[in-house]
Amino acid sequence: MAATFQSTVYLYSGAGIPGEQYDDSPWRALPYTINSTSAAYNIIGSTFCTITAGASVRNAGICQAGSAGTFGVAGLLVAPKDYALFGSGGQPLNPTLTVPNQTLIQCATMGRFYVYLPATAAIGDWVIFDNTTGAIETIAPNAALPVGKSWAQGIVSVLLMEAAGLGVIDLNPGVGLPT
């Protein structure tokens, strides 16, 4: 089979992928072992909660997607280039952002990260997550928290989102967020 040359040059390349740092601002993350009820929810750029108690939560805790954990938010699953991913369906060349259960991951509680936002979002909108899947979305400041959602302690920053796509959020900015 003969190799072919590139025939298309794209003018706009992607700025990042979900879970990557946006800039070199300070960030904080802790290690966890992921163990979700469904490994399909282990998507980089989603929110995870701790499911172990005691001092081990900060040292070698276990987390899962969504808020089924009763010991608080572990954070946003970040650092996508740190995990050995085997591709969707076990095919090494099929790209995926899904991490298998029992993987040691990093969950960020502070920093500025790229994420996938499923709808339009304005700078300053609050970040929330789905209690079952951990998928993040946004609501307007001071809006009521929808049923089945929890606060992710973050705001949309840097980019105005006119449609679904790659956005930037600040985790734990400390200004005007619900507690």
Q: Over the stretch 37-62, which tens digit does the pLDDT of each residue have? A: 898 999 999 999 887 655 444 445 88
pLDDT at 129: 92
Q: Over the stretch 137-165, which tens digit does the pLDDT of each residue have? A: 999 998 999 999 988 889 998 877 788 88
Worst-scoring range by mean pLDDT, 11-15, 43-47, 122-126?
Answer: 11-15
Q: Rounded mean pLDDT of 7-12?
A: 58
Domains and CATH numbers, the chain: 28-171 (2.40.300)
Q: Cα–Cα distance between 18 and 87 in angstroms, integer?
A: 16
Q: How many other β-carbons are positioned within 10 Å of the β-carbon of residue 90?
A: 7
Q: What are the helix (H) ranges across the chain?
A: 56-60
Q: Indicate if the pLDDT at residue 111 is higher than 90.
A: yes
The burial of 173, by beta-carbon neighbours within 10 Å (0-12 exposed, 13-18 middle, 19 or more buried), is given as: middle
Residue 2 carries which DSSP code?
-
